[in-house]
A and B are shown apart, each in its own frame.
Chain A
Amino acid sequence: MTKAPVSVSWRARNDIASRPWPGTTREYDLFKELAVGLVVVALLVLGLSAVFSSPDEPTVTLKSWALTDPADFVATATTELGGTSGTAGYGPPYNSTPDATQKLGPIDLQSLSGVRLPIDTANDFVIGPLQTLPTPPGAIDEWTKASDTQRASWTMAYGDALSKAPDNDPAKVPPGDYGPVPALAGALLAMAQQGTLDPVLSARGSFYNTDYKASILFLGDGGYFHGLADAQHLTGDQWGMMNETGNYPGQSWLWLFSALYQVEPFKSSPNADVLVVLSMVILTLLLTLVPFIPGLRSLPRRIPVHRLIWRDYYKRR
C-alpha cells in the first residue's frame, strides 16, 4: 500500500494540524518560560556588554579630512566646482543630471521623486560656504562672472594638473590657465582646516538643522572617506553592509543583500542597486508567501529536518 504524502497545505481542514490537539499534553508554563527567558537574556546581554562593550569610531569631519589629506580635499573641491563629482552627476533626488539614474529596463523609479533634495555642488559645497567668510575671496567674483564653458575649462585643467602633480600636492602644480579655481579650492581648504566649514555646510544658513546630507555627500565625493571605510572593512566589495567598525558583529542579517552585490550580473551592472533591491523584494515575498507556493512549501517534507525537531514525538509513536 502506498502511503499518502504528508500534507503541507496552509488550509484549515478537518485534519490533525487544523483541529485542536486531541492527544496527550504536558505541563507547559508560558509565563515561567518568559521569566526564565528574561533572566537568561538579561545575563547574556549584561555579560556581552560588560566584556565586549560596543564600537564607537569617532566621526570624520571636513576639518580632519582637510588636515589629514589636503590634496584629496582640494581635488574633490575642484570636482565639485566643475560639476564632475559623484554628487554632481548623481541625478534625482539631488539634481537633474541627464542619464544618471538607475533603471530597470524602461522603468526609472529614481526619477519619480524629481529633484526633491536639491544640491548644486559648486554653489552649495564651495561658493556658498566661502561667501559666509568675513572676507570672501575675490576669486568668487571672477568665478561668478565666467561662462559655464570657461568654468569647465578651468576646473578640468586644474583637476588634470592636480592629478599629475607629485603627491597630487596643490603646491606642486605647474602654472596654467586655472582661473580662480586654485584660489577657491585653497580658500575652502583653509576654511575647512580652521573648522569653520563643518558647521556652515551642516547648517546651510539655518540655526537648526538635522539634515547632514551636504556634508556626507561632500565627504563621499573624496577618496579620504572611502579609504577610512576600506580600513574598517566597510566598503561594498568587503561585504561592508553587514560589517561594523572594529571586530564587532554588524547587521549580519543583511548577508544576502550584501552577497548579491558580490556576484554577476549585479556586481558590474550600472543598475546594481535597483536590481539588488528588486531581487531582495522578490526573495522576501517568496519566503513570506511560501505557504502558498507549491514545491517551495514541500521542502520541509522533502528535507526532513522536522524528524530532528520532533524526534521525541516520533520515538514514542
Chain B
Amino acid sequence: MTADRGPVSAAEDGEARFSTWTGKTRGWALRRLPPDKLLPEGQPSYVSSWIYVFGMGAVAAFVYILGSGAVLALNGPTWFHVSGLGRFINSTHLWSVELFFMFMVIHLWGKFWMAAWRGGRALTWITGMLAFVVSIVTAFTGYLLQTNFDSQWIAFQAKDALNAVGVGAWFNVADLGQILMWHITLLPLAVAVVVALHVVLVRMHGVVPPLEAATSDAQLRSAAPIPAVDGEDMK
C-alpha cells in the first residue's frame, strides 16, 4: 500500500527510486552530477597545462570584483573621489576587472583551440560565451558609474550605438540611477548565475580530452576498447 511505503524505495538494481518531486529532483541531480564528479580528487592525465589555470583565475578575479564592488556600492559611487581608502578600493575593483577579462579571454581562446565543445559540451561553450558577453555589459555600466570625465564622455558616445538599435530609450546611459541598479544588482547576478552554470556543466561533462586522443594511446591502453566513430560531422 502506498501509505505504508516511504518516499524512497529501492529497485531491483539497488538504485534508489524517488516518488516525490523533491526526491526525483535529488535523484536527477545525483545521477547527472554525483558528488565525486562535482568535487573530484583527480583529473585525467591530459589536464596538465598552464592553460587550465585561467578559468579558475577568472573565478578568483570575479570574487575580488564582487568584494571590492560591494564596498564601493555600500559607500556610493562618488565616495572614491573624496576618500583615500575609497580610491584604493576603486583601484582594486579596476585591476580585478582587468585581470578577470584577461584570464577569461585567454581561457576562451584556449578552449577554442581545444575545440572544447566536443562530446556534448556545446552548452558549456555557449554559457562561457554568455558569461563573456554579460561581463562586457556589466563592465560597461561600471565605466558609466565612475562619475568623472571618463563616464561623462562614455555616456555621450555610447548613447549613439544604443539609440541606433532602439535600446537607448530604455537603457539611458546618462541616467546614473538606472545604470547603478543595473551594475550593482541585475548584471552581477546574471554573471554569477551564468558562471555557476558554466562551472557545473564543466564538472558534469568533465574536461574535454585531447583532439587526437586514441584508444591506442599509452594513457588509455588499460581502458576497454571504444568503438570507432563514424565519419559524420568531421567537417
CA distance A117 to B87 in the complex (A): 34
Q: Does A251 contact B (CB under 8 A)?
A: yes
Contact, CB under 8 Å: A38 / B114: no
Contact, CB under 8 Å: B117 / A297: yes
Question: B230: nearest residue on chain A (CB-CB)?
Answer: A13
Among the stretches B3-11, B23-31, B145-153, B188-196, the one at the interface with A is B145-153
Q: Does A228 contact B (CB under 8 A)?
A: yes
Chain A residue contacts of B99, Cβ below 8 A: 41, 44-45, 48
From known contacts A4-B231, A38-B63, A225-B156, infer whether A33 and B53 are also in contact, taking CB-CB under 8 Å: yes
From known contacts A10-B118, A14-B227, infer whether A56 and B212 are also in contact, taking CB-CB under 8 Å: no
Distance between B210 CB and nearest chain A CB, rounded to angstroms: 4
Contact, CB under 8 Å: A313 / B210: yes
Chain B residue contacts of A314, Cβ below 8 A: 210, 212
Chain A residue contacts of B220, Cβ below 8 A: 16, 22-24
CA distance A313 to B214 in the complex (A): 11
Q: Does B136 contact A (CB under 8 A)?
A: yes
CA distance A254 to B115 in the complex (A): 24
Digitize B168-196: 1 where CB-to-A-CB distance is under 8 Å, 0 elsewhere: 11101011111010000000000000000
From known contacts A52-B91, A276-B161, A277-B164, infer whether A210 and B176 are also in contact, taking CB-CB under 8 Å: yes
CA distance A312 to B94 in the complex (A): 36
Chain B residue contacts of A228, Cβ below 8 A: 149, 153
Chain B residue contacts of A276, Cβ below 8 A: 161
A253 touches which of B105, B126, B176 (Cβ 8 Å): B105
Distance between A52 CB and nearest chain B CB, rounded to angstroms: 7
From known contacts A22-B224, A59-B148, A109-B166, infer whether A12 and B119 are also in contact, taking CB-CB under 8 Å: yes
From known contacts A7-B118, A306-B113, infer whether A117 and B95 are also in contact, taking CB-CB under 8 Å: no
Q: Does A176 contact B (CB under 8 A)?
A: no
Contact, CB under 8 Å: A245 / B219: no
Chain B residue contacts of A45, Cβ below 8 A: 61, 64, 92, 95-96, 99
Q: Does A206 contact B (CB under 8 A)?
A: no
CA distance A314 to B46 in the complex (A): 9
CA distance A113 to B164 in the complex (A): 11
Q: Does B197 contact A (CB under 8 A)?
A: no
From known contacts A23-B45, A25-B43, infer whether A288 and B130 are also in contact, taking CB-CB under 8 Å: yes
Within 8 A of B (CB), among A31-60: 31, 33-34, 37-38, 40-42, 44-46, 48-50, 52-60
Question: B129: nearest residue on chain A (CB-CB)?
Answer: A288
Chain B residue contacts of A90, Cβ below 8 A: 163
Distance between B164 CB and nearest chain A CB, rounded to angstroms: 4
From known contacts A56-B80, A314-B210, infer whether A16 and B150 are also in contact, taking CB-CB under 8 Å: no
Distance between B111 CB and nearest chain A CB, rounded to angstroms: 9
Chain B residue contacts of A101, Cβ below 8 A: 164
The A-B contact count (CB < 8 A) is 348
Chain A residue contacts of B39, Cβ below 8 A: 30-31
CA distance A299 to B143 in the complex (A): 35
Chain A residue contacts of B149, Cβ below 8 A: 57-60, 228, 232, 245
Distance between B218 CB and nearest chain A CB, rounded to angstroms: 6
- Which bracket fits the contact residues of B? 35 or more
A56 touches which of B105, B126, B148 (Cβ 8 Å): B148
CA distance A311 to B211 in the complex (A): 11
A249 touches which of B96, B98, B212, B215 (Cβ 8 Å): B98
Q: Does A229 contact B (CB under 8 A)?
A: yes
Contact, CB under 8 Å: A23 / B165: no
Q: Does A207 contact B (CB under 8 A)?
A: no
From known contacts A30-B39, A54-B90, A219-B152, infer whether A291 and B60 are also in contact, taking CB-CB under 8 Å: no
Digitize A227-246: 1 where CB-to-B-CB distance is under 8 Å, 0 elsewhere: 01100101010001100110
Question: B114: nearest residue on chain A (CB-CB)?
Answer: A306
Which residues on A are within 8 Å of B, measured CB to CB? 4-31, 33-34, 37-38, 40-42, 44-46, 48-50, 52-60, 90, 92-93, 101-102, 109-114, 116-117, 210-213, 216-217, 219-220, 225, 228-229, 232, 234, 236, 240-241, 244-245, 248-254, 271, 273-274, 276-278, 284, 287-292, 294-295, 297-301, 303-306, 309-314, 316-317
Which residues on B are within 8 Å of A, measured CB to CB? 39-49, 51, 53, 56-57, 59-61, 63-64, 80-81, 87-88, 90-96, 98-99, 101, 105, 110, 112-115, 117-122, 125-126, 129-130, 133, 136, 139-140, 143, 146-150, 152-153, 155-157, 159-161, 163-166, 168-170, 172, 174-178, 180, 206, 208-224, 226-229, 231-235
- Per CB-CB distance, the 5 closest pairs between chain A and chain B, nearest first, are A12-B120, A17-B119, A210-B177, A113-B169, A9-B233
